[in-house]
A and B are shown apart, each in its own frame.
Chain A
Amino acid sequence: MTSMFVRRTTSVARKEVLHLLRDPATLFFALFIPVLELFMLGYAIDMNVRNVRTVIFDQARTQESRTLLRAFETSEDFEVIRSVQTDEALYEAIVKGDAHVGIKIPEDYSRRLQAGQTAQVLILVDGSVSSVAAEAVNVGNALALRESLRMALGDKPLPVESRPRVLFNPDTRSANFFIPGLLVVMCQLMATQLTANAIVKEKMNGTLEQLYMTPVRPWELILGKSVPYLVLTFVEMVGITVLMVIIFRVPIHGAFVTLLAIALPFILTMIGAGLWISAKADTTDAAGQLVMGTVMPSIFLSGYVFPVDSMPVIFQWVAQVVPTTWLIDASRGVILRGAGWRELWPHAAILWSMALGVLAASITKFRKHL
Chain B
Amino acid sequence: MGAAIEVRDVTVKFGTVTAVDHASVTVHAGEVFGMLGPNGSGKTTLIRALCGLLPLAEGSARVLGYDVTKEAEKIRAAIGYMSQKFSLYSDLTVRENMEFYTGIYGLSRTVATQRQDELIQLTGLGPYIDRRAGHLSGGWKQRLALVCSLLHRPKLVFLDEPTAGIDPVARRDLWDLLFRLSAQGVTLFVTTHYMDEAERCNRVGYIYLGHMLAEGTPAELKALPGITPPETKRLEIVGPDTSALLEAIRQKPGIHEATIFGQAIHILVDANITARDLGVDSVEGVKVETAEPSLEDVFVTLSRLQSAKGE
Contact = CB atoms under 8 A, between A and B. Distances in A.
Interface of A: 3-4, 7-8, 10-12, 14-15, 18-19, 22-23, 205-207, 209-217, 370
A213 B86 contact: no
B264 interface: no
Given A18-B91, A18-B92, A214 B103 contact: no
A241 to B, nearest CB: 31
Given A23-B91, A213-B76, A370-B53, A14 B81 contact: no
B53 A207 contact: no
Contacts of B79: 213
Contacts of A15: 89, 92, 96, 100
B73 A215 contact: yes
A230 to B, nearest CB: 20
A19 B93 CA distance: 11
Nearest to A370: B53
Nearest to B158: A213
B86 A216 contact: no
A216 B76 CA distance: 9
B11 to A, nearest CB: 20
A213 B73 contact: no
Given A22-B92, A215-B76, 8 more contacts: A11-B99, A14-B99, A18-B91, A19-B89, A206-B85, A206-B87, A210-B81, A215-B106
A214 B76 contact: yes
B77 interface: yes
Contact of B89 (A3, A7, A207, A212): A207
A19 B100 contact: no
A215 B101 CA distance: 10
23 contacts: A3-B106, A4-B106, A7-B106, A8-B103, A8-B104, A19-B89, A19-B91, A22-B92, A23-B91, A205-B87, A206-B83, A206-B85, A206-B87, A207-B87, A207-B88, A210-B87, A211-B104, A214-B81, A214-B104, A215-B104, A215-B105, A216-B104, A370-B53
B83 A14 contact: no
Interface residues of B, number: 27
Q: Which 4 A-B pairs have the closest CB atoms?
A: A11-B103, A213-B81, A206-B87, A4-B106
Contacts of B106: 3-4, 7-8, 215
A12 B91 contact: no
Contact of B88 (A3, A22, A210): A210
Interface of B: 51, 53, 73, 76-77, 79, 81, 83, 85-92, 96, 99-107, 158
A77 B178 CA distance: 82
A14 B76 contact: no
Nearest to A217: B73
A19 B88 CA distance: 12
Contacts of A19: 89, 91-92
A8 B265 CA distance: 55
Nearest to A19: B91
Contact of B51 (A3, A14, A213, A217): A213
B91 A212 contact: no
Could you tell me the dominant secondary structure of chain A's interface residues?
Answer: helix
Contacts of B76: 213-215
A206 B85 CA distance: 7
Of the candidates B91, B92, B102, the one having the most CB atoms from chain A within 10 angstroms of its own CB is B91
A14 B88 CA distance: 15
A205 B86 CA distance: 8
Nearest to B112: A7
A3 B99 CA distance: 16
A79 B213 CA distance: 89
Nearest to B85: A206
Contacts of B158: 213
Query: Taking each of A10, A205, A211, A213, which has the highest tally of chain B beta carbons within 10 Å of its own beta carbon?
Result: A213
A294 to B, nearest CB: 27
Nearest to A212: B53
A18 B89 CA distance: 10
A14 B104 contact: no
Contacts of A8: 103-104, 106
B112 to A, nearest CB: 9
Contacts of B96: 15, 18
A242 to B, nearest CB: 30
A214 B107 CA distance: 13
Contacts of A14: 99-100, 103
A17 to B, nearest CB: 11
A211 B89 CA distance: 11
Contacts of A18: 91-92, 96
A7 B108 CA distance: 8
A209 B100 CA distance: 15
Nearest to A11: B103
B103 A10 contact: yes
Contact of B83 (A10, A209, A217): A209
A209 B104 contact: no
A279 B81 CA distance: 23
A11 B100 contact: yes
A212 B102 CA distance: 15
Given A210-B83, A213-B51, A22 B91 contact: yes
Given A7-B106, A8-B106, A209-B83, A214 B89 contact: no
A106 B102 CA distance: 87
A41 B53 CA distance: 49
Nearest to B47: A213
Nearest to A207: B87
Nearest to B96: A18
A11 B103 CA distance: 5
